[in-house]
């Protein structure tokens, strides 16, 4: 995948997102029928404490007709090492489900082995035509896997699953699933955050994933994951100061830590959402675009980092038929899950989708994970101390 910015469209069974950018789903509170959520963290730092709360996933739900489990584990323990003086590493690992026949992925549960350092994970599926390139990349990179800031490192990887604190397997009741052709390979992209383990040298991880697969002959509609992103332009508070409170210095710092693609993402989001000009620095940013294809949305999620306060995904805002697909007025980083809609929502070519995020730089001084870091103007970035605004739609395209 490349860091380019495009309209929302889906074709050929693969979602093409607003931007090819990272991350994971996150939500908070108790699901409401309209997709809204509530939580008790109204003004303080509850729900913004950190990540990595150790908790075993609940027992797997019973297998349904024609389903089976496939468990995959990283071949060897991996010891993350953040580059360029950063505190985050994104590492991709190739795992083989050994599919000899067509199948559908109907559920998945990522199983982090070391929650002190595992921040989130995204699971990408690549076809057999990309498997050789992935094996070559793996073989030519020292250690297990390869560094993969910004994407899976292999073109055309399809986002089929993810995990973050509080996220467990979500099973949709409709007859839907992610297509898995024979010979498909999976890339597990794991975000390691090392803020909590600085000074320790023995922290390794050997995470796993449990796949729920069903017979490819089943009459299931194919799922895709479409992504909605908005830029981040969050200034330092009036009480803060320092060299990184300058926007250009902050962008250069993100590029230093994560490479040129990080700067291209910042510029690309503003080009796509704001006609190339950065919006005025503000706690709230949004992006909206027209849909270029028909489909049905079954579930939604949203993601920000520790400075996130609220996130919303709207369909056709400002019109008589407007709907909130996701509304989290009090975001909780430590309670992240996919939210099935009470009733699937049909979207049509020409409809508008809008994602809106509010962040609070004042949380920086209140959170143990961030309080000792220098103040900064926050733009889109892949580190825990950076921010994101990402909405996810789990949906099936219509032909």
> What pLDDT score was predicted for residue 23?
26
Model confidence at 81, pLDDT cuts 50, 70, 90, reads confident
Global confidence as pTM: 0.84
> Do the beta carbons of residue 69 and residue 210 sit within 8 Å?
yes
Task: Please state, for a pLDDT cut of 70, what percent of the chain lies above it.
Answer: 83
178 or 193: which carries more pLDDT confidence?
178
Instruction: Return the top range by mean pLDDT from 6-15, 109-118, 134-143, 315-324.
Output: 315-324
Q: What is the rounded CA–CA span in Å between residue 375 and residue 384?
A: 14
* Beta pairing class for 118-126 and 185-193: antiparallel
Q: What is the rounded CA–CA span in Å between residue 192 and residue 370?
A: 16
- Asked if residue 217 has pLDDT above 90, the reply is no
- Asked if residue 61 has pLDDT above 70, the reply is yes
Model confidence at 205, pLDDT cuts 50, 70, 90, reads very high
40 or 63: which carries more pLDDT confidence?
63
- Asked if residue 198 has pLDDT above 50, the reply is yes
Mean pLDDT (whole number) for 162-167: 81
- Asked if residue 251 has pLDDT above 60, the reply is yes
Arithmetic mean of pLDDT over the chain: 83
Mean pLDDT (whole number) for 112-139: 91
- The domain ranges of the chain are 46-223, 225-397
Kindly tell me the burial class for residue 311, based on how many C-beta atoms sit within 10 Å of its own C-beta (0-12, 13-18, 19 or more). Answer: buried
> What pLDDT score was predicted for residue 196?
67
Task: Kindly state the DSSP code that residue 133 receives in the 8-state scheme.
Answer: H
- Least confident interval from 26-35, 111-120, 266-275, 345-354: 26-35
What CATH architecture applies to the domain 46-223? Sandwich (2.60)
Model confidence at 20, pLDDT cuts 50, 70, 90, reads very low
- What pLDDT digit, counting tens, does each position of 320-330 carry? 999 999 999 99
> Do the beta carbons of residue 188 and residue 95 sit within 8 Å?
yes
> What pLDDT score was predicted for residue 155?
78
> What pLDDT score was predicted for residue 197?
67
> What pLDDT score was predicted for residue 203?
86
CATH 2.60.120 fits 225-397, yes or no: yes
> What pLDDT score was predicted for residue 18?
28
Model confidence at 233, pLDDT cuts 50, 70, 90, reads very high
156 or 87: which carries more pLDDT confidence?
87
Retrieve residue 196's tokens.
């909590």
Mean pLDDT (whole number) for 81-99: 87
- Asked if residue 279 has pLDDT above 80, the reply is no
DSSP string for residues in 221-237: EEPEEEEEE----BPPP
Task: Please state, for a pLDDT cut of 90, what percent of the chain lies above it.
Answer: 60
Mean pLDDT (whole number) for 355-367: 96
Listed residue (215, 191, 238) closest to 86, CA to CA? 191
Q: What is the 3-state secondary structure (H, E, C) of 363-393?
A: HHHCCCCCCCCCCCCECECCCCCCECCEEEE
- Asked if residue 52 has pLDDT above 50, the reply is no
- Asked if residue 162 has pLDDT above 90, the reply is no
> What pLDDT score was predicted for residue 39?
31
- Asked if residue 17 has pLDDT above 90, the reply is no
Q: Do domains 46-223 and 225-397 have the same CATH topology?
A: yes
Question: In whole angstroms, how large is the CA radius of gyration of the chain?
Answer: 20
Mean pLDDT (whole number) for 287-305: 93
């Amino acid at each position: 995948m490349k860091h380019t910015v495009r309209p929302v469209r889906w074709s050929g069974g693969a979602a093409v997102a607003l931007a090819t950018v990272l991350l994971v789903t996150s939500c908070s509170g108790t699901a409401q029928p309209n997709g809204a959520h509530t939580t008790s963290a109204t003004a303080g730092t509850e729900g913004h404490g950190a990540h990595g709360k150790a908790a075993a996933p609940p027992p797997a739900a019973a297998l349904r007709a024609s389903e089976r489990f496939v468990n995959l584990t990283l071949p060897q323990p991996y010891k993350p090492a953040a580059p360029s003086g950063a505190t985050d590493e994104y590492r991709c690992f190739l795992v083989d489900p050994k599919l000899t026949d067509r199948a559908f992925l109907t559920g998945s549960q990522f199983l982090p082995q070391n929650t002190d350092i595992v921040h989130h994970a995204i699971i990408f599926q690549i076809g057999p035509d990309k498997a050789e390139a992935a094996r070559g990349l793996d073989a030519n990179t020292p250690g297990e896997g390869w560094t993969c800031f910004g994407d899976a490192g292999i073109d055309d990887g399809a986002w089929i699953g993810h995990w973050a604190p509080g996220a467990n397997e979500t099973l949709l009741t409709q007859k839907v699933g992610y297509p898995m052709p024979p010979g498909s390979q999976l890339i597990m992209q794991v975000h390691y955050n090392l803020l909590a383990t600085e000074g320790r040298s023995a922290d390794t991880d050997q995470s796993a994933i449990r796949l729920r697969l069903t017979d490819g002959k089943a009459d299931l509609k194919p799922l895709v994951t479409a992504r909605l992103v908005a830029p981040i332009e969050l200034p330092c508070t009036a009480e803060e100061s320092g060299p990184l409170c300058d926007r250009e210095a902050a962008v250069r710092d993100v590029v230093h830590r994560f490479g040129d693609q990080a700067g291209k993402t910042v510029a690309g989001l503003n080009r796509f959402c704001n006609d190339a000009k950065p919006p005025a620095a503000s706690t709230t940013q949004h992006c909206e675009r027209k849909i270029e294809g028909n489909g049905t949305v079954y579930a939604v999620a949203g993601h920000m980092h520790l400075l996130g306060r609220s996130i919303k995904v709207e369909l056709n805002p400002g019109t008589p038929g407007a709907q909130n697909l996701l509304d989290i007025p009090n975001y909780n980083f430590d309670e992240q899950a996919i939210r099935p809609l009470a009733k699937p929502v049909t979207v049509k070519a020409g409809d508008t989708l809008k994602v809106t995020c509010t962040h609070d730089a004042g949380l920086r001084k209140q959170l143990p994970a961030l309080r000792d870091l220098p103040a900064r103007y926050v733009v889109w970035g892949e580190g825990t101390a950076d921010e994101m605004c990402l909405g996810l739609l789990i949906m099936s395209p219509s032909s």
